[in-house]
Amino acid sequence: MPVGTAATVKALTVDQVAQTGADILLGNTYHLMLRPTAERIQRLGGLHRFMRWDKPILTDSGGFQVMSLSKIAKVTEESVTFQSHIDGSRHIMTPERSIEIQADLLGSDIVMQLDECVSWPAEERRAEDAMRLSARWAQRCKTAFGERDRQALFCIQQGSTFKALRQESADRLMEIGFDGYALGGLAVGEGHEAMCEVLDYAPAMLPADRPRYLMGVGKPIDLVEAVARGVDMFDCVLPTRSGRHGQAWTWEGAVNLKNARYAEDDSPLDPDSDCPASSHYSKAYLHHLVRSEEILGQVLLSWHNIAHFQALTAAMRAAISEGRFEAFRRDFKARQRIGNRGLPD
């Protein structure tokens, strides 16, 4: 899912995003409730109409941003009280208010429970307290959400890197029952190998007949390895953030267009791509745009990166349906190693 945190996928129009094959976007409750406010978006017809996106939208509850961005955050059993990172204004978020904002005011198609995400590394007792609070908040979110035909509610498994806590979290959430199950508390600094160690067991703890969503991940290799372990859905700001900083993701690895060796490289990033940014512009031109700090360079690289991530996930879906995913996985890793061998990108 391309990330449209503040009702926009940075540097791109929704038409460009849709052209990449994206069928769902992610918005963020924390940012939207602060600016322009969820109430204003509702008055203007809801989030879909506001940003002119007629496909599904998932909204993150904002719990992670409350912990990471707010100037001051205080968590109690009842709620989290925080100060806006924008103007210092004071806000109170309860599980019930999070559901109201997402489901009723924004009109999200997939609504995420409010949870408490701990930083990494976390002591086991701290991770346990946050996991159990998140489970109790999940029940409150489910009660507030009620029964809806056109909207879905996802819960969030927590437990940091502790297997027993992950299992307890999964058991508590499955007892309540949700439309989808997310894996939270990863991609917070633990690194690829540690994340994969958790993914070796955590997805299997969740129902196989419901979507399993790894939040905030990640690089192409992260996606491939997570899919190999049973994950279905992803979101990350990486494609557009990389594009704004001159980095393109390709089948052979990452390409840093700032590097001088691309100054006269007349080849495109991906000649086989349907995305114009990938196939119609040379690396030399993109290098020129990046080095000249032209806005068009950020647009084209962001567009290419989102198209590449969509192509990667489409290729994985095809490989799974044709029973050749393990071969795809091996080939992908081999191409990444060869493409990046000896290069400082």
What pLDDT was estimated at residue 102?
98
Superfamily the domain 14-235 falls into: Queuine tRNA-ribosyltransferase-like (3.20.20.105)
What pLDDT was estimated at residue 62?
81
CB distance 248 to 255 below 8 Å:
yes
Say which of 109, 222, 235, 270 is annotated catalytic: 235
pLDDT (mean) for 9-16: 98
CB distance 93 to 105 below 8 Å:
no
What pLDDT was estimated at residue 345?
40
> Tens digit of pLDDT for each residue in 232-243?
999 999 999 999
pLDDT tier at 66 (50, 70, 90 boundaries)? confident
CB distance 327 to 283 below 8 Å:
no
The CA–CA distances, whole Å, from 239 to 1, 10, 253 equal 11, 10, 13
Residue-level length of the chain: 345
- The yes-or-no verdict on residue 83 having pLDDT over 70 is yes
Active site residue 235: yes
pLDDT tier at 344 (50, 70, 90 boundaries)? very low
pLDDT (mean) for 238-266: 97
pLDDT (mean) for 58-81: 87
What pLDDT was estimated at residue 341?
54
Q: Where in the chain is the domain with CATH 3.20.20.105?
A: 14-235
> Tens digit of pLDDT for each residue in 113-151?
999 998 899 999 999 999 999 999 999 999 999 999 999
> Tens digit of pLDDT for each residue in 201-224?
999 999 999 999 999 999 999 999
* CA gap 215, 192 in Å, rounded: 14
CB distance 41 to 50 below 8 Å:
yes
Q: Please provide the average confidence, as pLDDT, over all residues in the chain.
A: 95
- Specify the pTM: 0.96
Phi-psi region of 255 (alpha: psi -120 to 50; beta: other; left: phi over 0): beta
Residue (of 293, 290, 292, 312) closest to 301 by Cα position: 290
pLDDT (mean) for 256-270: 98
The CA–CA distances, whole Å, from 219 to 58, 103, 310, 313, 334 equal 20, 30, 13, 12, 16
- The yes-or-no verdict on residue 35 having pLDDT over 90 is yes
Say which of 60, 115, 222, 270 is annotated catalytic: 60
Task: Check whether the bond before 146 is cis (ω within 30° of 0).
Answer: no
Torsional sign, CA 25, 305, 245, 16? negative
Cα 219–Cα 222–Cα 224 angle in degrees, nearest 5: 115
- The yes-or-no verdict on residue 342 having pLDDT over 50 is no
pLDDT (mean) for 247-272: 97
Say which residue the tokens 């709620």 belong to.
79
What pLDDT was estimated at residue 343?
44
Task: Give the CA radius of gyration of the chain.
Answer: 20
CB distance 62 to 29 below 8 Å:
yes
- The yes-or-no verdict on residue 278 having pLDDT over 60 is yes
pLDDT (mean) for 311-318: 98
What pLDDT was estimated at residue 142?
98
